[in-house]
Amino acid sequence: MTLPFAAEIATPLLLIALVISAALLMLQLAVGPFGHMKFLHLHQSYIKQPKALRYPLTTIAITIIVLAVSHLLGIWGFQR
């Protein structure tokens, strides 16, 4: 994949996006730290958001996770 900026910047940005996407999915599914009773209110407030907001966010998060994992496995990479 050819980028308009240096490839050395793209991989850390992709990893940051991976962490944010994973946190969003954990929030939606109430797993990990968001499944604890202390943070369950975050999950409940996220579920109360309209589906028109939640579904695109979930789709984007899953897409970022698939792209990041496939990049880390070496299936594709950024050209220098």
Tens digit of pLDDT for each residue in 32-74? 888 888 999 999 999 999 999 999 999 999 999 999 999 889 8
What's the pTM?
0.86
Domain containing 35 equals 7-72
CA atoms within 13 Å, Cβ hemisphere of 30: 13
pLDDT of residue 34: 86
Q: Is 13 left (phi over 0), alpha (psi -120 to 50) or beta?
A: alpha
**Residue 19 domain-assigned?**
yes
Above 90 in pLDDT, residue 23?
yes
pLDDT of residue 5: 74
**Residue 77 domain-assigned?**
no
**Residue 78 domain-assigned?**
no
**Residue 25 domain-assigned?**
yes
pLDDT of residue 7: 73
Q: What is the mean pLDDT of residues 4-23?
A: 89
**Residue 1 domain-assigned?**
no
Residue type, 80: R
Q: Give me the number of domains the chain comprises.
A: 1
